[in-house]
Amino acid sequence: MHELAIARHLLELTLEHAEENKATRIDQINIVIGQLSSFVDESIQFYWDMLSDDTLARGATLNFSYVPMELTCKHCQHSFSPEELAHICPQCESLALEVTAGDQCYLESIDIDTPESVGMEKV
């Protein structure tokens, strides 16, 4: 159910930026999701379609980019992308690891139409 909150927040951000840029239509929304974020893109899309129905974002395409998990060893500073969730550093076998990528979820960019634009403008 947390995808509903994410979709709502993405829509708020999108509409805010669209209004600031005098958009007549929102065409595409580009979203980055990390492997560890646990968000399901199909669920975000479902809620997006429902929430954006009576807005400038109705029918906008959601494009998802995915960031793999990356860990960095606190002892030897080796960074790696593990295959499983049970991890030790492959270089020094330390258990002191820090997540350095893969836990994010954010709005990367928005493609809009404006009265002055012929094509799309990236915000």
Q: What is the pLDDT of residue 86?
A: 65
pLDDT at residue 94 is higher than 80: yes
Distance, in Å, from the CA atom of 17 to the CA atom of 121, rounded to the nearest integer, reads 12
| 32 CB burial (10 A radius; 0-12, 13-18, 19+) | middle
Each residue's pLDDT tens digit, 5-37: 999 999 999 999 999 989 999 999 999 999 888
Question: What average pLDDT score do residues 117-123 get?
Answer: 52
Q: Alpha-carbon torsion 6, 9, 15, 16, what sign?
A: negative
More confident residue, 19 or 118: 19
Radius of gyration of the chain (CA): 18
Mean pLDDT (whole number) for 75-101: 89
pTM for this entry: 0.77
* Cα distance between the two ends of the chain: 29
Alpha-carbon gap, residue 95 to 4, rounded angstroms = 35
CATH of domain 2-68+102-113: 3.30.2320.50
- Contact between 28 and 61 under an 8 Å Cβ cutoff? The reply is yes
The proportion of the chain whose per-residue pLDDT surpasses 90, expressed as a percent, equals 73
